[in-house]
Chain A
Amino acid sequence: MKKSLFTLEHTRQLTEDTYELVLSGDTSAITAPGQFVNIELPGKFLRRPISICNWTEDALMLLVKVVGDGTKELVRCVPGTELDVLSGLGNGFNMDLAGEHPVLAGGGIGIAPLYGLTQRMLERRQNPTVALGFRTGKDAFYVEEFAALGCRLLIATEDGSLGVKGFVTDCIRAVPECDYVLSCGPLPMLKAVHSLPQLKDGQFSFEARMGCGFGACMGCTVPTKNGYKRVCKDGPILYKEEIVW
């Protein structure tokens, strides 16, 4: 973990409530896709934990969905704004365990960490299949960006206005050879993915109301089959066999 100042370079609106933010700063504490940053905002006591979409040596990309005052304030920051950031938090996805036929399953804003993950898995020639789910075509974002990475890409929307009509689980069923999942999205989606019989194993990214974000306050602990775990420090990635729904 590192505490440092990042400068907001630009913000781009992707849908009605979702934004892409690019910040510059020291990303040396980030070691794996699926980790998160915790951002201090003026006037807010608690930091806002945001999943890392992607990063380079000196740039950090975030996808932010406006869900309350804090995220609203974050997306309204103007370029040049300096933000106090705790970076490199959480365990991140373990790509070594993903096997020959991994599928990356994301829903809504949960697709964010899968972008950097896809890019790295492609670099490692792990040939991931990516399945993204959105409510409607209007809510979809980053589809072109994922496509540009060159992965096999499957899209589902609940009303069928983009990709197949249905859920991300329907996309995964269409690729029965995929037996390992790396997943991030809303809880009902994670649960549905978790129960797919074709999946031998997998990793699931959870969110929680956090106090500190670095393991000190016990604010976000959840029960697992391996005992209580802190979502912020022992997670946010939990493994298929240990998850208690």
Chain B
Amino acid sequence: MVNLTVNLAGVELKNPVIPASGTFGYGREYAELYDLNILGSFSWKGTTGEARLGNPQPRIAEMAGGMLNAVGLQNPGINAVIEKEVPNIAKIFQGPVIANVGGFSLEEYTENCRKLNDVEQVKILEVNISCPNVHAGGKNFGCDPKAAAEVTRAVKAVTDKPVFMKLTPNVTDIAEIAKACEDAGADGLCLINTLLGMRIDLKSRKPIIANRTGGVSGPAVFPVALRMVWDVYEAVKIPIIGCGGVSSAEDAVEMMLAGATAVEVGAANLKDPYACKTIVENLPNLCERLGVTEISELTGGAHHG
């Protein structure tokens, strides 16, 4: 019998598998397919202060080993989520929910987080300072250690819930940003968000995605994410949610060995809506094969010795 329980900054998850923000909506579509209660948690769609319509079409392109998206944080806004989605989530998932919070200013981040204080089921705030598909006057909080720390401090000041900062890979030294967040009081980190990329249509000679660039995700980014989780694990002591190209139980274990306490599964859900369920089901056997009885012992396992 393998114990799959993991602990994220005091929040216990029955297993380390978490659908990643932006690939799982608010759970509705997947709840039609399987009982979401098998999941460790789920990270809801990045939610901003006001409703956002997102970017023009097309928003999606394909590549070998993955895809690009430029959805642009389309979401109904924090108030609508609390009024309409939270009650529905309570019906379809009884575990701890991770609220992914977007924003374009310090005030928007803090206001959104404050509004979630009374939402009992939200156990972790995942603060997205890394979306590559929105433009806030050129400012990207996740690209500058000072700005990342500033958001972390501001959010920590208005909430008692654990705060996980979601980091962008589109930086020179992600460990430096991670450390800045930790020093500013972050309870944990989630990495990576998508890598900035683009595709061009040969006939029209124009970018396929209307936004010109999009975020790259899927199996092709897995080694990049793994390396960054490794680097960040060396730099900080707070727990890491490893995210980026995870598509199988094997990937999840590898991500944990690099330093992740839990994993988020993103693009794999879009290709196979049962991807998370399959990973959860395959983890016990894989752990047994590897002689692992407590999955949490895998975290950082590749760093020792």
Q: Which residues of A contact B (CB under 8 A)?
A: 1, 3, 40, 43-47, 86, 208-212, 214-223, 228, 233
Contact = CB atoms under 8 A, between A and B. Distances in A.
A46 B25 contact: no
Contact of B60 (A1, A209, A214): A209
Contacts, number: 91
Interface of B: 22-25, 28-30, 32-33, 45, 53-54, 57-67, 69, 71, 74, 208, 218-219, 267, 269-274
B69 A212 contact: no
A215 B271 contact: no
A46 B208 CA distance: 15
A220 B58 CA distance: 7
B236 to A, nearest CB: 31
A83 to B, nearest CB: 14
A43 B65 CA distance: 8
29 contacts: A1-B33, A3-B272, A3-B274, A43-B64, A45-B62, A45-B271, A46-B60, A46-B67, A208-B58, A209-B57, A209-B58, A209-B61, A211-B59, A211-B60, A211-B69, A211-B270, A212-B269, A212-B270, A214-B29, A216-B270, A217-B22, A218-B45, A218-B54, A218-B59, A220-B60, A221-B57, A221-B74, A222-B57, A223-B53
- Max count, chain B CB within 10 A of own CB: residue among A40, A210, A216, A228: A216
- Is chain A's binding surface mostly helix, strand, loop or mixed? loop
A49 B58 CA distance: 15
A175 to B, nearest CB: 33
Contact of B267 (A40, A45, A208, A222): A45
A217 B24 CA distance: 7
Q: Which 7 A-B pairs have the closest CB atoms?
A: A212-B270, A219-B60, A209-B58, A209-B60, A215-B29, A218-B74, A216-B29
Given A45-B267, A221-B59, 5 more contacts: A46-B271, A217-B69, A217-B270, A228-B53, A228-B74
A145 B271 CA distance: 34
B23 A216 contact: yes
Contacts of A221: 53-54, 57, 59, 74
A217 to B, nearest CB: 5
